[in-house]
Amino acid sequence: MDISIFEGVRTPFYYYDRELLERTLDTIDACTAGTPMRMHYAVKANSDPGVMRIIAGRGYGADCVSGNEIDLAVECGFDPQKIYYAGVGKTDEEILKGLRHGIGCFNIESMEEIDILKELAAKEGRKATVALRVNPNIDAHTHEYITTGLKENKFGIDLRMLEEAVRRVRASESLDLGGLHFHIGSQITISEPFKILCERINELKTRFRLDGVEFRFFNVGGGLGIDYDNPDENPIPDFRTYFDTILSNLDLDEGQEVHCELGRAIVGQCGSLISRVVLVKQGLEKSFVIVDAGMSDLLRPALYGAHHKIDNLSAAIGSEMKTYDVVGPICESSDVFGKGETLPATKRGDLIAFRSAGAYGSAMASRYNMRDLPGSLIK
Ligand code: LLP
């Protein structure tokens, strides 16, 4: 990689490969053209305005989970009609913001929320389109912190309460029932859970049709995973298999749409956290590469035990390989990016890339230890 593009940029910062992002979006467009699939970008994965503008430029909708995300999505050019607002604990202030922007849909997660939105929309003299988020009780076989579709989860409406929820929305003059919403988890790398989800949706569709309920859309959520171990070999996720699984297993009527809210699969591989080696500490039994990025910049290793591939961008080809623990400067023993990493001989001042960090990287950065937030460069 030509690191001259990083000259003069203060580390640590997130680098987004514009060309790869565009190619990823091209792939999605090619797979979904002419289908009833509509894409909504999950803003929570990466809310860098530069990244968001590129995605908005493709005509995507936005999946937002806070009032601030709604504001930012509008600012970055997303059509308010294509902004969907989800979350288990929307405040009145946030709901009002959504109503006043005229957003396309509120994804409702509880019976209580139906009543709150109904009242606020009536007060504002508006009719709000809603989708009921259903907890489909599917094991997505992913990390326990990011599985969401299981029964004991805080997300969504239990299947047994759904009929009552549908009735309640349909009885309200200020609410309009648009569809059903699902999300079974994140970083899912096999097709089976998505196939089961489609079967559940088909069952619900048939069951509610008996009551004369026709949904305009089904939102299947996000969740498609990326290859963290081999970002160079697999820079673009297998969208073809993913979309084929959904489109071939969902039984849709004429005019019915499928909405999908991918985050990680769109932005994950195009981003790297670029950091500089502060020093290499020679211990008695170990060598530590200490970099100027830490868990405040990229939390996933500390929080989930995630591993991001580590590249030394400055090392000459053919350098001798050595073993290091790669750690950050923060006062926590979990501030570790990799243990026993094999890297080319590394020295003070080298540039290090933590790969596949475009999703839930900068978005989860904090100012812990009063550190500056990481910068960003899109090129
Ligand atoms: N829709 C809903 C309702 C969600 O909760 C999420 C993610 C998405 C869509 C987007 O999912 P994706 O396509 O990115 O998998 N911080 C964790 C991931 C948390 C995901 C939360 N929900 C991580 O770093 O792995």
Q: What is the pLDDT of residue 110?
A: 95
Ligand 1 contacts CB of residue 149 (under 6 A)? no
* Ligand 1 atom closest to residue 133's alpha carbon, by position in its atom list: 3
Topology annotation, domain 3-11+270-378:
Lyase, Ornithine Decarboxylase; Chain A, domain 1 (2.40.37)
What burial class does residue 254 get, using C-beta atoms within 10 Å of its C-beta: 0-12 exposed, 13-18 middle, 19+ buried?
Answer: exposed
- Hey, do 3-11+270-378 and 18-267 end up sharing a CATH topology, with the first three levels equal? no
Residue (of 231, 367, 228) closest to 295 by Cα position: 367
pLDDT at position 253 is 95
What are the sequence ranges of the domains in the chain?
3-11+270-378, 18-267
223 DSSP assignment: -
**Alpha carbon of 182 to ligand 1 centroid (Å):** 12
Which residues of the chain are under the pLDDT cut of 50? none
CA of 76 to the centre of ligand 1 (A): 21
pLDDT of residue 138: 85
- Which pLDDT belongs to residue 319? 93
State the pTM of this model.
Answer: 0.96
87 touches 113 (CB < 8 A): no
Does residue 12 have a cis bond before it (omega within 30 degrees)? yes
Q: Which tens digit of pLDDT belongs to each residue from 335-374?
A: 999 999 999 999 999 999 999 999 999 999 999 999 999 9
Check if the beta carbon of residue 97 is closer than 8 Å to that of residue 67.
Answer: yes
CA 239 distance to own-chain centroid: 15
Q: Which of 186, 273, 360 to mutate to test the pocket of ligand 1 (most atoms within 8 A of CB)?
A: 186
- Alpha carbons 67 and 87: distance in angstroms, whole number: 10
The residue whose CB lies within 8 Å of the most ligand 1 atoms, and thus the one to mutate among 264, 270, 295, is 264
110-124 tens-digit pLDDT: 999 999 999 999 999
DSSP-derived letter for residue 322 is E
CATH class of 18-267: alpha beta
Which two tokens mark 372? 């500056």
